[in-house]
Amino acid sequence: METSTVSPFLDQLLADRPVDSARGWLGRLRGQALEQAHGAGVPTVRDEDWRFTDLSPLYKLAFRAPAVVPEPTPDAIRPHRVAEAAVRMVFVDGRHSPALSSAVDVLPAGLKVERLGDVDGEWLRSRLGAVAAFTDDAFVAINTAHLQDGAVVVVDRDVAIDAPVHLLFVSTQPDAAAHPRVLVVAEPSSDVTVIEEHMALHDGAYCVNAVTEVIAEANARVRHVKLQRDGKAGFHLATSAARVERDARFHSHDIAIGGRISRQNLRVALAGEGSECHLDGLALIDGRQLADTHSFVDHAVPHGISRQRHKCVVGGGAHAVFNGRVLVRSGAQQTDSAQQSRNLLLSERARVDAKPQLEIFADDVKCAHGATVGQLELEEVFYLRSRGLDDLAARNLLTYAFAAEIVDAIGVKSVVERLRAHVMARTGAQETLR
Amino acid sequence: MSTDRPLLDVKGLTASVAGKTILKGIDFVVRPGEVHAIMGPNGSGKSTFSKVLAGHPAYEVTAGSATFDGEDLFALEPEMRARAGLFLSFQYPVEVPGVANAQFLRLTYNTVQGARGRDELDPLEFDDFVREKMKLLEMNPMFLDRSVNEGFSGGEKKRNEILQMALLEPKLAFLDETDSGLDIDALRIVAGGVNALRTSDNAIVLVTHYQRLLNYIVPDFVHVMDGGRIVKTGGKELALELESRGYDWIAKAA
């Protein structure tokens, strides 16, 4: 990797680690990750995995963990509340905010939502970093080197939690770097929905480097909703990684709306027979935004099912990247995998690079993938015009509908409504449907 | 039944798609109060004919004219044709996720009403209004809350098309294969809805492959298309003859 031009950025980011007082395994984990981060450097467009996503604007800047973290008023985050949530945990510039978080003593039975530091060390040791290994990715290594604060969500065996857990990450100041960490463990036959939301209260440049790990144990159901609504000058680098065990099911809803440059890595290991993942993605960007999603579904055992729908709506001079890799290992017979990448370009300058990547080493599988890039379907526009709507209204409505299909599947009513309103405003459909 | 002034007067229409000529000279006249059926084998051009008249952008009119209610139809954008009172019921209606059917129906209704200089309805007024119209088609009101056509069965989509016809009150409605894929109960309901919308001022053109629909909506004229032309025109008995003898004898005779 090319490290020389970027080392000031990296050095600053790594030098700025909190003083490491941790003893034992956590201290060692951070130390190893730090070593890895220094050794590997950060990626450039010369790396195949980063061909289309040029982070040089990021590397020109220096970010610090802020010395002082102001506490936003409850009013500032009120619009981001999720009415249905069982619990809300808020992090401000990477640090937990008890004042903005909801009380944790009223949680439903069988659900634990705790700060990383409050969780039993031995329990954590075998789980933290088990799904998102710091050796896999430079930014995961940087995140792991900074491990300090974060959220741990645990659902007990056989417990189904209807109300979602809301984790809200707020940026309050320019030049700040935050390294959020989330661990979700769903014990056998449990069911939980976790909403991870990122947003900013300012328009300056800042850097979020997030890592989320999900362990869906046997027959569990986990729904992970990621709302990336970072500020327009923000940088969002993230890895969400899930291990899906026997007969378990993982649903992922990745919505990328904000950020100047965002990169979402999504890694799903279908590790147990009969496990399933359903990955929905939507990037809705314009102006000079870049949104990159790299997904990797690893079918390691027989009878796995994966379904992926990724959509990009790209306006202005924005650039969307989708790389969807599906690996079917030789032992993963009876795999059933389908991937669909659909991309809508709203302007001449808008650009998308979409690449499905199917690697099959088993001989008895059902795999399908497809990618489309283009404008709205002529037939669909004509349908609406034949009902009296003018061309612009028809196009706005269909652009909205294109995105709404992914939004509607999220399944948390207030989140769906909030996103629908946002998508409506962004696509001009609001004017039409007033 | 008919007055002198045609509602639709098509003369010598030819049209092509992607450089390929599909319609090869069609003359077609519809007067108020009439019901026409256009039949023909697959690929005869009957669906294309209705799409060309409604203004589908994939088709190019290469010769001929069409006058609709005194206006030059081909000078109008598709939405202006709809506002002027031309309706096309689609064979494959489009799904619009995230937009509630009620919201969409009110949008199209108000758009067309506004263009015709009539009053628009607010959501509450519209709700009463559309529920009345839905009774005509025995549609469950829950279809108002669902996204437009999303997850609707074939029959439900067709009912939703006729519901839009009921709301938009066209002078001339082309129903493109509205009967295909419907079971007998759904066909009876849809046909009943269409019949209830008939007046002495409007007209209906049924584009269909099957004679069955014509037992429920009885046409005044039956036209047979083949190879992009109308090759035979007759009364409703022609449909029965087609049912028993197929299309081949007409193609040969023509």
Each domain of chain A, given as residue ranges in start order, spans 69-375, 376-434
Inter-chain CB proximity A420 and B54 less than 8 Å: no
Which 3-state string (H, E, C) describes A284-305? Answer: EECCCCEEEEEEEEEECCCCCE
Q: Which residue of A has its CA nearest to B114?
A: A388
- Check whether B154 has a pLDDT greater than 80: yes
Question: Using one digit for the tens of pLDDT, what is the confidence trace for B191-204?
Answer: 999 999 999 999 99
pLDDT at B2: 46
**According to the model, what pLDDT value does residue A65 have?**
82
Please list the residues that pair with B29 across neighbouring strands: B9
**Would you mind telling me the total number of residues written for chain B in this entry?**
254
Q: Given pLDDT bands bounded at 50, 70 and 90, which one contains residue B254?
A: low
Are B147 and A408 an interchain contact pair (Cβ–Cβ within 8 Å)?
yes
What is the pLDDT confidence band of residue A62, given thresholds at 50, 70 and 90? confident
Residue B170's closest chain A neighbor by CA? A387
pLDDT digits (tens, 9 = 90+) for A322-334: 999 999 999 999 9
Considering CB atoms only, which of B83, B94, B97 is closest to A388?
A: B83
Position A22 pLDDT exceeds 70: no
Nearest to B54 among A386, A394, A420 (CB): A386
3-class secondary-structure state, position B141: helix
- pLDDT tens-digit series, residues A365-379: 999 999 999 888 889
Q: Do B78 and A379 touch (CB under 8 A)?
A: no
Chain B residues 181-220 within an 8 A CB cutoff of chain A: none
Give the C-alpha separation, A102 to A120, whole Å. 22
Chain A contact present for B110, CB below 8 A: no
Q: Which residues of B touch A407 (CB under 8 A)?
A: 98
The mean pLDDT of A66-70, rounded to a whole number, is 83
Highest mean pLDDT among A142-151, A219-228, B145-154: A219-228
Work out the average pLDDT over A288-303. Answer: 97
Residues 6+ apart with CB under 8 A from A386: B54, B55, B78, B79, B81, B82, B87, B88, B90
Burial class (CB in 10 A: 0-12, 13-18, 19+), B128: exposed
Q: Is the model's pLDDT at B240 over the cut of 70?
A: yes
- Whether B58 shows a pLDDT value over 60: the answer reads yes
Separation of alpha carbons B14 and A308, rounded Å: 45
Contact criterion met (CB below 8 Å) for B62 and B30: no
- Tally the C-alpha atoms within 13 A of residue B130's C-alpha that lie toward its C-beta: 30
Min Cα distance A251 → chain B (Å) is 20
Do A386 and B108 count as a contact with CB atoms less than 8 A apart?
no
**Percentage of the residues of chain A whose pLDDT score is greater than 70:** 96
User: 3-state DSSP call for residue B94?
Assistant: coil
Kindly tell me the burial class for residue A43, based on how many C-beta atoms sit within 10 Å of its own C-beta (0-12, 13-18, 19 or more): buried
Stated as kind and residue range, the H or E segment containing A423 is helix A413-427
Contacts of A408 in chain B (CB under 8 A): 97-98, 147
Measured between CB atoms, does B167 come within 8 Å of chain A? no
Chain A environment of B97 (Cβ under 8 Å): 401-402, 404-405, 408
Average pLDDT, chain A: 93
Contact B55 A386 (CB under 8 A): yes
Nearest by CB to B78, from A385, A397, A432: name it: A385
Find, among A91, A164, A138, A128, the residue nearest to A265 by Cα: A138
Q: Name every chain A residue with its beta carbon within 8 A of the beta carbon of B79.
A: 385-386, 388-391, 394
Give the span between the Cα atoms of B119 and B109, in whole angstroms.
Answer: 10
Q: What is the pLDDT of residue A24?
A: 83
Q: Tell me the one-letter amino acid at A285.
A: I
Inter-residue contact A163 to A86 (CB < 8 Å): yes
Give me the residues paired with residue A338 across strands. A307, A368
Q: What's the confidence (pLDDT) of residue A434?
A: 67
Which residue of chain A has the CA closest to B103?
A433
Closest-CA distance, B59 to chain A, in angstroms, reads: 11
Model confidence at B27, pLDDT cuts 50, 70, 90, reads very high
B56, B87, B97 ranked by CB distance to A408: nearest: B97
Q: What is the pLDDT of residues B70-80, one digit of tens each?
A: 999 999 999 99
Which residues, numbered 13 to 72 in chain B, qualify as contacts with chain A under a Cβ-Cβ cut-off of 8 Å? Answer: 54-58
Q: How confident is the model at residue A23 (pLDDT cuts 50, 70, 90)?
A: low
Say if the Cβ atoms of B57 and A382 lie within 8 Å. yes
10 Å CB burial of residue A140 (0-12, 13-18, 19+) is buried
Q: List, in order of start, the domains of chain B with CATH numbers.
A: 8-253 (3.40.50.300)
Average confidence score pLDDT of chain B: 93
Q: Measure in Å the smallest separation between the Cα of A88 and chain B Cα atoms.
A: 27
Q: Mind telling me how many Å the CA of B189 is from chain A's nearest CA?
A: 22
Of B81, B96, B115, the CB nearest to A397: B96
Helix crossing, B101-115 with B154-168: angle to 10°?
30
Which 8-state DSSP code applies to residue A108? Answer: P
Inter-chain residue contact B111 with A423, CB threshold 8 Å: no
Interface mutation vs chain B, best among A375, A377, A382, most B CBs within 10 Å: A382
CB contact under 8 A, B98 and A379: no
Nearest to A387 among B55, B98, B108 (CB): B108
Of B88, B96, B103, the CB nearest to A386: B88
Cβ burial, residue A103 (10 Å; 0-12/13-18/19+): exposed
Residue type, A171: S
Q: What is the pLDDT of residue A325?
A: 97
Mean pLDDT of B142-155: 94
Most confident of A68-82, A90-104, A299-313: A299-313
Alpha-carbon gap: B226 to the closest alpha carbon of chain A (Å): 24
Contacts of B60 in chain A (CB under 8 A): none
From chain A residues 366-405, the ones with a CB under 8 A of any chain B CB are: 378-391, 393-394, 397-398, 400-405
Q: Model confidence over B79-104: pLDDT tens digits? A: 999 999 999 999 999 999 888 999 99
Averaged pLDDT, A137-159: 95
d(CA A204, CA B124): 44
A284, A313, A386, best to mutate vs chain B, most B CBs in 10 Å: A386
What are the backbone angles phi and psi of residue B25, rounded to the nearest 5°? 105, 85
Distance from CA of B179 to the nearest CA of A (A): 19
Q: What pLDDT is stored for residue A2 in this prediction?
A: 46
Task: Give the C-alpha separation, A378 to A391, whole Å.
Answer: 11
Structure tokens at B155: 């029959």
Provide the 3-class DSSP secondary structure of residue A263: strand
Inter-chain touch B99–A401, beta carbons under 8 Å: yes
Residues 111 through 130 of chain B touching chain A, CB cutoff 8 Å: 111-112, 115
pLDDT (0 to 100) of residue B3 = 53
* Angle subtended at Cα A395 by Cα B83 and Cα B13, rounded to the nearest 5 degrees: 50
Given CB atoms, is A162 within the 8 Å cutoff of chain B? no
Range in A24-28, A247-251, A281-285, B161-165 the model is least confident about: A24-28
Min Cα–Cα distance to chain A from B107, Å: 7
**Residue spans of alpha helices (H) in A41-172:** 56-59, 74-77, 121-125, 138-145
Q: Judge whether residue A265 has pLDDT over 60.
A: yes
From the CA of B93, how many Å to the nearest CA of chain A? 7
Angle at B96 between CA B90 and CA B98, to 5 degrees: 160
pLDDT tens digits for A195-224? 999 999 999 999 999 999 999 999 999 999
Of B56, B57, B82, the CB nearest to A388: B82
- d(CA A425, nearest CA chain B) in Å: 14
Residue A382 pLDDT exceeds 90:
yes
